Amino acid sequence: MRLGTIRELAALILIAGHLLAVALIFGRLHDWANSTERLELVLILSPLTGLFALAGVRHILGTERRRRSTAKVTAAFGIVAVGLPLIFCGFILYTIWVFPYGVAADLDSLRLTLAASEAGLGALIGAVAEKLFGADMAALRDEVEASHRSQ
């Protein structure tokens, strides 16, 4: 497996999963939650997934001439780097899609489920994000926090 392929797959899964989750929250939950509650759910998903999506977007839209990495990675790294975001994003999307008949039966349990899923995704992907995107995740986190403080 090549690092460039794994990197692009992981970035696309994180970005698409994040955008689809936001769309589902605003599209599917209008009967169950008011606009403030829907915005709160989006904010639960935003910090960690948004941070990794930002790293992916920066990589994809990088200003320097990008060459596809030909570095090889192990199959285990590929499975972790692509499989974990796929599983976590899939679970988040499923949870929102079937609400209130699935894992979460009310808005409080939906908040807890999304927060726990987001924390799990952040912890597990954080371990491989620097190798995937060549980004210093601590510096990215500081930059995001600084932009929130200035608003």
Structural domain includes residue 122: yes
Least confident piece of the model among 9-18, 58-67, 78-87, 126-135: 58-67
Structural domain harbouring 110: 3-146
Whether residue 106 contacts residue 100, with contact meaning beta carbons closer than 8 Å, is answered with yes
Contacts 24+ apart (CB under 8 A), 135-140: 135/55, 135/58, 135/59, 137/51, 137/55, 140/51, 140/54, 140/55
Q: Cα dist. 44→25, 115, 130 in Å? A: 11, 6, 23
Least confident piece of the model among 26-30, 106-110, 129-133: 129-133
Mean pLDDT, all residues of the chain: 81
Structural domain includes residue 151: no
Q: Helix, strand or coil for residue 53?
A: helix
- Total domains, the chain: 1
Whether residue 101 contacts residue 83, with contact meaning beta carbons closer than 8 Å, is answered with no
Distance of CA 45 to the CA centre of its chain: 8
Structural domain includes residue 95: yes
Query: Is the pLDDT confidence value at 108 over 90?
Result: yes
Structural domain includes residue 65: yes
Res. 120 pLDDT band, cuts 50 70 90: confident
